[in-house]
Amino acid sequence: MKLAKSVPEYSKVDKIIDSYSCEKSALIAILQEIENLYGYLPAWALRRVSEKLGVPLIQVYGVASFYDAFHLTPRGKHLIRVCLGTACYLRGSARVLETLEGELGIKDGETTPDLEFSLQSVRCLGACALAPVMVIGEQYFDKMTPTKVRSVLKRVQRRDDKD
C-alpha cells in the first residue's frame, strides 16, 4: 500500500490568490500578503502561486528574489539592520557588522539557527547625523561601536525574557 505524501496546507495561500481573482498582474501583491502571513515565502507557496496564476515558477522566483522585501527563508524574531551608507561606513559601521556576525555566529543576510536574530546590512537608514546606526526591529541605536554591540544584544534578550 502506497502512503500519500504530506501536502502543505494550501487554503490560506489559495484564499490570498483568489482574493485577487487569480490575476497575473497581482503577483507582487500576492507575494506581499504571503510574506506577511508566514514572515517569508515558503517554496511550496511559490509553487502554488505559479500553478494557480499560470505563471512559470522561474518567473515567480525571479520576482521573489529581486525585491529586498521578500525572503525565501524564515527570518528571526529580531531583524538587525546595520547601515553601511557613506556616513555610517566612515564612522565604523563595517566593524559593528563584523562584531554582530561574531556575536551571533552568522553572516550578513543570515538568520540564527534558533530563529531569534536575522542580520542585514542596508545602504541607508536615514539617520546620518547619528552614525553609525543599527536598528533592531523599530528601535534605533546610534553612535554604535563594536563594544556597544554586546550590551545592546543583552538588552534585547533581557527584554525577551520579561515577555
pLDDT at 118: 94
pLDDT attached to residue 162:
76
pTM tops 0.85, yes or no:
no
88/98 Cα distance (integer angstroms): 14
pLDDT value at residue 15 = 94
Output the pLDDT for position 27.
97
Instruction: List every span in the chain annotated with CATH 3.40.30.10.
Output: 78-162
Q: Please tell me the total number of residues recorded for the chain in this structure.
A: 163
If one counts every other C-beta atom within 10 angstroms of the C-beta of residue 65, the result is 12
The per-residue pLDDT for 22 is 84
CATH number of this structure's domain 78-162: 3.40.30.10
- The whole-number pLDDT of residue 157 equals 85
Could you read off the pLDDT tens digit of each residue along the chain, which spans 163 residues?
Answer: 444 344 567 889 999 999 999 899 999 999 999 999 988 999 999 999 999 999 999 999 999 999 878 999 888 999 999 999 999 999 999 999 999 999 999 999 999 999 999 999 999 999 999 999 999 988 999 999 999 999 999 999 888 777 6
